[in-house]
Amino acid sequence: IAAIRRSSGDLVLNVDSDTTLASDVVTKLALKMQHPAVGAAMGQLVASNRSDTWLTRLIDMEYWLACNEERAAQARFGAVMCCCGPCAMYRRSALLLLLDQYETQLFRGKPSDFGEDRHLTILMLKAGLRTEYVPDAIAATVVPDRLGPYLRQQLRWARSTFRDTLLALRLLPSLDRYLTLDVVGQNLGPLLLALSVLAGLAQLALTATVPWSAVLMIASMTIIRCSVAAFRARQLRFL
């Protein structure tokens, strides 16, 4: 926030301290920002430490899915719902108008200091600006290599997703109906999956029978999604 207030250019690039940008990232993001209706644009994230552990390899694949399926689909309708912190460019004139709301964000009456990238993206969309995704603007960021830090990160991100969904509810009618479907899926999908797993465990504990229908459904959905990703990315690692 201090840097934005002291800046003078037309565009502001936000980069995490553990992120390394490809040499052409600024150029490619700036080209996307040439249209005055675009308030923010993000690049594609990859794990710079992908080869360290089995977890970092999985997270790198998760990032590919999040960027090239979720963000890419949202960008078709000009409304990427979260321009991720590691690499995002903003229109400075829009930032200055939103900065007070951004700096004083509250949740349930208390200052909120998590999920700032998603919150700022929602504010951009509420201001009537488009948010975009640039797949060939590559940013490599360090990801957790142990399960404990990863789970803490995911919990923080989940809190941000649920909180900012409440903020975005009034915004959704002004966006394409696909975005409503996407937000519903993001919020209900994990809850339904957790409910299915719990119901299956309860069936196993109470009746000593394996919940094959739930197991096969979850396995089938996983195989289909990973197969589609392997085909689109031309990378067998997704299998």
pLDDT digits (tens, 9 = 90+) for 215-232: 999 999 999 999 999 999
Length, in residues, of the chain: 239
**Whole-prediction pTM value?**
0.90
pLDDT at 101 over 90: no
Q: Compute the average pLDDT of residues 27-44.
A: 96
Using alpha carbons, select from 163, 85, 72, 76 the residue that is nearest to residue 121.
Answer: 85
pLDDT in tens, 116-141: 899 899 999 999 999 999 999 999 99
**pLDDT at residue 168, as a whole number:** 84
pLDDT in tens, 146-197: 999 999 999 988 888 888 888 888 899 999 999 999 988 888 888 899 999 9
Reported as type and span, the H/E element at residue 36 is: none
Please give the share of the chain, as a percent, with pLDDT higher than 90. 75
Using alpha carbons, select from 131, 55, 144, 146 the residue that is nearest to residue 95.
Answer: 131
Check: CB of residue 55 under 8 Å from CB of residue 142.
no
Sign (positive or negative) of CA dihedral 95, 74, 220, 49: negative
- Strands 38-47 and 87-91, by their bridges, are antiparallel
Q: For the chain, which domains are there?
A: 1-187 (3.90.550.10)
Beta pairing partners, 87: 15
Q: Rounded distance, CA 195 to CA 126, Å? A: 33
